[in-house]
Amino acid sequence: MTNKQIERRFEAIRLVASVAIAVVLCFIIILFISDNPLKALRYLVVGPFTSLNRFGQIIEKVQPLLLTGCAMNLMILAGNFSMIPEGCFLLAPCLTVPVVIINEKIFGGLANLGEFGRIIWVTCSIICGGIIGAIIGSIPSLIKRKWGCDEVITSIMLNAMIVQFDDWMVKRVLYDEASGLSASKPYPEYAKVTRLIYGTRVSTAIFVGLVFCFVTYLIVYHTKLGFEARLVGLNPSFAKYSGISVAKTGLLIAGLAGAFAGIGGVIHTLGYNERFNWVAETGFGNDGIFVGILAKNNPLLLPISAFALGYLRVGAETMGNNTDVPLELIQVMTSLIIMMLAADQLFSGAKHRAIVNNAKRLEAAKEEK
C-alpha cells in the first residue's frame, strides 16, 4: 500500500467521524434542551430530505455559494484575504437588475421574443454584473498598491458602504409604492432565470454555478494566470524573482473573483427573488470562505462542500420550525459541525502510526531483496 492510499483512507475516515462526532455533540445539547430530543434530531438529520420543498431549499442555498466559493477560492489561492466578494455580490445586481425595471419601455420589447428574450437579457446582465464585480473587486487591490492599505480592511469598509448604497437604492430609488414593501417593482417575467422545480426556487442558476466551478478549476490548474496566482500566494518574493508580476497577478485575480461574485449576485436575485430587496449583507460572501476552505481550495469539490453547508442550514431550520429547539441554538450547532469538519488533525496520530508501520514494512521488504 502506498502512503497516498493510507492518506486517502484516513481522509475518508476523518470526514465520516467528524460528522458523527458533531452529531453526537449536537444530540447531547438537544438532550438538555428539548423535551423530545429524538424528534429534534430526526428533523435535523433527515428533515432536509422529507419534502421536495426542503430539498429545494438546499439547492437554493448552494446556487449562490458556488460562485462566491469560486471567488473566495481564487482570492485565497493568490494570498489575498480580501472580503470584497460579498460587496460585489451585493452591488452588481443592485446596479444591473433595476435597469429593466426602470426602462420597461426600452427592454419591454424583449418580452415579445419569448425564451430568446430571456436569454439575451440574462446574458447581458451576467456580463454587466461581471464587469461591475470586477471593478469593485479590484478596488482594494488597487488601493493597496497605491497607498498600502490592507485589503482586508478596505474590503470590509467598502462592503459596509455598499450595504448602505443598496439600502438607499432599494428604499429611495427603486421603491415600489404600490407594493408597500421595501423592494423594487417585480421583475418582469422575461428577466427572470428559469425555475426548474415547481414550488421551489431552484433555477438554472445552479448550472451556471457548476459551470463556473469547472471554469475556476481550469483557471487555477490549467492556465498561466492560475499558475502565477498560486506562486504569488505561496511566496511573492519568489514569484517576483522568477519574473512574475506580483501586482498584476493580484489585480487580475481580484478582478476575476469580483466578477464571479458579481455574476453570482445577479443570477441569484434573478432566480430567487421576485423583486430586488437586498438591504443587508447576504452572508454568501463570507460563507464562500468556509465553503472554499472545506473544499480544500479545490474548485471541483466546491459543489460538495456547498451542498454540505446548505444541508446543514436547512436541517437546522427544519428543526427550528418544527420543534422546541430555539432558533439561536441552530447557529451554535451549525458552527459546531463546521468546526468539526475543519478539524484537520483528527486521527493524525493513528494516521502517522499507520504510515510508520507501512514504511517499516517497505524497508524490511527492501532488505530481504
Residues that bind other proteins (CB under 8 A): 3, 6, 218, 221-224, 227, 230-231, 234-235, 237-245, 351-352, 355-356, 358-360, 362-363
* 3 versus 51: smaller Cβ distance to other proteins: 3
* 229 versus 295: smaller Cβ distance to other proteins: 229
What are the residues facing 195 on neighbouring strands? 203
Q: Name the minimum Å distance from CB 245 to other proteins.
A: 7
Q: Name the minimum Å distance from CB 215 to other proteins.
A: 12
* 226 versus 285: smaller Cβ distance to other proteins: 226
Query: Which residue from 290, 296, 281 is spatially nearest to 313, judged by alpha carbons?
Result: 290
Alpha helices in 81-114 (DSSP H): 84-96, 98-102, 104-111
Distances (CA, A) of 60 to 33, 66, 111, 190, 207: 30, 11, 26, 20, 12
* 170 versus 229: smaller Cβ distance to other proteins: 229
Structure-block grid coordinates of residue 82: 480580501
Q: Name the minimum Å distance from CB 247 to other proteins.
A: 11
DSSP character string of 123-187: HHHHHHHHHHHHHHHHHHHHHHHHH---HHHHHHHHHHHHHHHHHHIIIIIS--TTT-SSS-PBP
* 123 versus 245: smaller Cβ distance to other proteins: 245
Structure-block grid coordinates of residue 101: 425595471
Can you tell me whether residue 244 is helix, strand or coil?
Answer: coil
**Backbone torsion region of residue 175, taken as left when φ is above 0, otherwise alpha when ψ lies between -120 and 50, otherwise beta:** beta
DSSP type of residue 203: B
Q: Name the minimum Å distance from CB 233 to other proteins.
A: 9
Q: Name the minimum Å distance from CB 28 to other proteins.
A: 32
* 339 versus 359: smaller Cβ distance to other proteins: 359
Structure-block grid coordinates of residue 201: 426556487
Q: Name the minimum Å distance from CB 108 to other proteins.
A: 40
Q: Name the minimum Å distance from CB 302 to other proteins.
A: 20
* 9 versus 360: smaller Cβ distance to other proteins: 360
Can you tell me whether residue 275 is helix, strand or coil?
Answer: strand
In whole angstroms, give the CA distance from residue 96 to residue 123: 12
